[in-house]
Amino acid sequence: MESSNIIQTEYSEHMQKAFIDYAMSVIISRALPDVRDGFKPVQRRILYDMNELGVKFDKPFKKSARIVGDTMGKYHPHGDSSIYGAMVVMAQDFKEGVPLVDGHGNFGSIEGDGAAAMRYTEARLKKITQDAYLSDLDKDVVDFVPNYDETEKEPAVLPVKVPNLLINGAEGIAVGMTTSIPTHNFGECIDGVIAYMKNPDITTEEMMNYIPGPDFPTGGIIANKDDLLEIYETGIGKIKIRGKIEEEKVKGGKERLVITEIPYTMIGANIGKFLNDVGNLVESRATADIVDITNQSSKEGIRIVLELRKGADVEALKNLLYKKTKLEDTFGVNMLAVADGRPETMGLVSIIRHHVNFQYEIATRKYKTLLAKELDKKEIQEGLIEACNVIDLIIEILRGSKNVADARACLTTGETANISFKSKESEKMAKQLHFTERQATAILEMRLYRLIGLEIDALIKEHDETVENIARYEDILSHRSSMAKVIIKELQAFKKEYDSPRKTVIDNLAEAVVVEKPVEEHDVMFLMDRFGYAKTVEMATFDRNRDAIEAENKYIFKTTNLGRICVFTDKGQMHLIKVKDLPAAKMKDKGTPIDNISNYDSKVERFIYLCDLAELSGKKIFFGTALSMLKIVDGSEFVVGKKTTAATKLVDGDEVLCASMIEFTDTLVMRSKSDAFLRITCEQIPEKKKAAAGVRGMKLAKGETLTDIYVLKDGDNEMVEVKGKQIALNRLHIGNRDTKGVKK
């Protein structure tokens, strides 16, 4: 039996190599754009497939599902949702600097609505895509590579003639790296390319005379103009973007703020978040100037209206919106792209340099292809012109030939052995013929109408044009300056046809500063029902509706709008609630669950006692548990800054039954499961730290627990029912702590 060849390798080395291979595959073949055409593979394949399908701008729309399916089957063997998602983005004018796909149907909205399913939408290429992104594919200007299963060919890069990486920007997350390139103005990018072609030593600062900064499709204002130079030098940095706010006067001397442009980063769900954030500013009383907010945005553009109260401080409110909401946001720039087969972070001039080098490359290949075609045409044209001059001889050769091969041999080499001539002179002339193979083929295939005089004149004119083209192409290929003129002329034509005005304003704006006005402290009434819904009401409202409020709520006490509420729970915890986090409600309002504004969790604990934190100073808090552990804690121990703190120590299986403010003149009644009662004075309960467990209040039998603990003030006349009888707690005999109590 032959021994197997077993290759041993270190597992860690194998994993390292495998991960590096995977990472590079994600970086190069999925997540990062190529600096030459500015596309990721999925985008490139979609556009190429649409071009192959003939879905041109002047042709009918085709179902998106057809385009996605064809792309997936031929070029991009990944999920259809990723292909459709990429195609949708290329059709959205609020995401792309220049949309490349013409979408028909629901292709999503700026407010985050998703596109309709691909079976409902249709698409075709935009005219600019055909003119500047896909033209010349038939002129051998780029390399074609096998697709994933080697049954088709696809371009390794598209022959894009404009700096698409800058125009449409890019976003992508690879392995260990990300790219984030903002969009730029189409005409400005072309001006920048032309400026570089005229001066390859141009500096970034000089380039910014042509490309002053990003131009986002959503407009807005770039607020840190001075930082752009460093960002464009290094390819990394942060751009501050603000939305555009306009002021409008309304009747009654009031004003409204209208947001007409938003930061690019606010696209989608962040518009809804902005509306919620503004609502929260009003609810939290950070501003009282906004009385209403409506989103009146439509296909025509963004329009978010904030109605203001009379006399509102407009400038202060603008600063508040910039500071506390997404109306001012940061766009992180990381201009990372694949250059020469590897990821590279590039500055503005570097990106344009790569683009221009690519333009010279595709122009060289284009004009070499065109020159070869013109040389072929010239050869054939010269053959036909010469043939027309000796057409009688050629006709005689054709009539005297037995087959095409003999006629071709005579035309190309002067071989006359197998051809019969009318005269020796004709044979002598025929021996002097030396047409090329292509010329001979063209002559043999020539139709008789080409012998008409006008046709011969047209042929001569066409030949002259061909000669001119050859001279022009040779000049372009021989002189870089001539090629530059051709490229620049084409770029200027693109700018003339497709340029659009800049949308984003670039400026240096002072940082938004919010001066928080001191809130005037005043008394309010805290209300909470038995379900944990809490709110505050003004004192006047409480006085007018005292009976209804007392009937509907479990906890009612006075506090201040700047105060804090203590929530003691059966788990021995104390949670703090800021009164300002509670809604200042009307009588009919339900309030807010305390779960939402504190660490209290109604699923695992229940509240035992609530009070105003300010009341605790100088007061004593009593704690009693189900296992009859009692203690008194000085209230000052609970005046803490933490949202949650341990109020008492509990052993496993124990829980707090009672927490309450007490006086040492009060008495305490404990009741067990077996209806044993023990009444003691509070003087018998020692004062302990909050971290202590306490002392035993009633001796309990094994497995016995307390069910209730009652704190009695002097004069209280609380009654409880035991086996159908009413018992007055204040008439119970006062006993000693740590005794068994009396059964009833």
Instruction: Say if CB 124 and CB 102 are below 8 A apart.
Output: yes
HEC-encoded secondary structure of 348-413: HHHHHHHHHHHHHHHHHHHHHHHHHHHHHHHHHHHHHHHHHHCHHHHHHHHHHCCCHHHHHHHHHH
**Residue 208 and residue 188: Cα distance in Å, rounded?**
10
In Å, what is the CA distance from 245 to each residue of 201, 327, 526, 540?
Answer: 41, 9, 38, 39
In Å, what is the CA distance from 266 to each residue of 59, 236, 269?
Answer: 35, 21, 7
Element (H, E) at 542: helix 539-544
- Residue tagged active-site, from 120, 322, 498, 609: 120
The overall longest dimension of the chain from CA atoms, in Å, is: 156
Structure tokens at 531: 């379900």
DSSP 52-69: HHT--TTS--EEHHHHHH
DSSP 300-326: TB--EEEEE-TT--HHHHHHHHHHHST
**Residue 118 and residue 99: Cα distance in Å, rounded?**
18
DSSP 157-212: S----S-HHHHT-EEEE-SS-EEEE----HHHHHHHHHHHHH-TT--HHHHTTT--
**Residue 629 and residue 647: Cα distance in Å, rounded?**
14
Instruction: Say if CB 616 and CB 639 are below 8 A apart.
Output: yes
Strand order of the sheet with strand 564-569?
607-612, 564-569, 573-578, 644-646
Which residues on adjacent β-strands are paired with residue 623?
A: 631, 659
Helix (H, G, I), strand (E, B) or coil at 17: helix
Element (H, E) at 481: helix 480-498
Residues 6+ away with beta carbon under 8 Å from 510: none
Respond yes or no: is residue 120 known to be catalytic: yes
Structure tokens at 121: 């939408």
In Å, what is the CA distance from 54 to each residue of 48, 59, 67, 138?
Answer: 10, 8, 11, 14
* Residue linked to tokens 């057409």: 391
In Å, what is the CA distance from 691 to each residue of 574, 610, 650, 655, 685?
Answer: 12, 20, 9, 15, 16
* Residue linked to tokens 């500071």: 323
Catalytic residues, by residue number, are: 120
